[in-house]
Amino acid sequence: KRPLIVTLDGPAGAGKSTVAKAVADALEIAYLDTGAMFRSVAWALGADSWQMDHESLVRALESMEFDLHGQGPASYLTLNGQPMGADIRTETVGMWASHIAQLLPVREKLKQDQRRLGAKRDLVAEGRDMGSVVFPEACCKFFLVASAEERARRRWEQLRQMGQDPSYEGLVQQIRQRDAQDSQREFAPLRAAEDAMEIDTTTRSAQEVVERIVELVQRRR
Ligand code: C5P
């Protein structure tokens, strides 16, 4: 029997992480945060990575090995054996990630790793292109959206909780910029898979969204 794959895509701040963790918890399966993979690559390569020459980039990517451990909200990724730290969770690293996510060698490398991680286990896979590119055969695909202002407000709260002091206006601007960059790129642009169900989370609680998704998955499982 093929593993159960639930894909959860959408723009930054649409509530994907919160919802994905809770869905993984309810279904008792692993949770794959693919944004963390792009962030880790960006972090490992540094600020100028998107200007690296092709050969150095390919060599650097070959030396990176991702693994997934645990289940539910306790799932965690390692890069070359090291769990990913809080230092990949800044807006700056998010922006770097969005830059390197445009590079074909990076997308190909991570797509391969994501498929390998999903080949042997049931998974909630969260990202931008899980339903459209990486797991086109997934049984249950969801695309979360929310207004830019609401997403900025959520990001603001999240960053405050991590001890950072972001400006709300700055966040709205960054979110718009990252949306544009993620939607307009040549390879695997941000878009809903044709067979994905779109859920607007602007005025819905996370719990409401989770219940809806879990119910649908249970029906199809
Ligand atoms: O979701 P998160 O904000 O952590 O992702 C960081 C960046 O990584 C995104 O802005 C996007 O450019 C990139 N990404 C991607 N494909 C994915 C997940 C993330 O291109 N599946």
| Share in percent of the chain as helix, strand, coil (round to 5) | 55, 15, 30
Please say if the pLDDT value at position 2 is more than 80.
yes
Residue 96: CB within 6 Å of ligand 1?
Answer: no
Q: What is the pLDDT of residue 178?
A: 86
Taking residues 162-168, report their average pLDDT. Answer: 92
Q: Could you tell me the sign of the dihedral formed by the alpha carbons of 77, 83, 87, 93, in that order?
A: negative
pTM recorded for the entire structure:
0.92
Residue 125's domain is classified under what CATH number? 3.40.50.300
Number of domains forming the structure of the chain: 1
Nearest-CA residue for atom 5 of ligand 1: 35
Q: Is the ipTM of this complex over 0.90?
A: yes
Residue 25: CB within 6 Å of ligand 1?
Answer: no
* Sheet architecture: strand order including 30-33: 30-33, 123-127, 5-9, 140-145, 197-200
Q: State which of 77, 128, 134, 151 you would mutate to test the pocket of ligand 1, scoring each by most atoms of that ligand within 8 A of its C-beta.
A: 128
Tell me which residue has tokens 């931008």.
128
Boundaries of domain holding 177: 5-220
Whether residue 12 is annotated as binding a ligand: the answer is yes
Structure confidence by residue, pLDDT tens digits, 12-48: 889 999 999 999 999 999 999 999 999 999 999 987 7
Structure confidence by residue, pLDDT tens digits, 60-77: 999 999 999 999 989 999
Q: Name the band, by pLDDT with cuts 50, 70 and 90, for residue 196.
A: very high
| CB-CB contact of 6 with 140 (8 Å) | yes
Q: Name the band, by pLDDT with cuts 50, 70 and 90, for residue 127.
A: very high
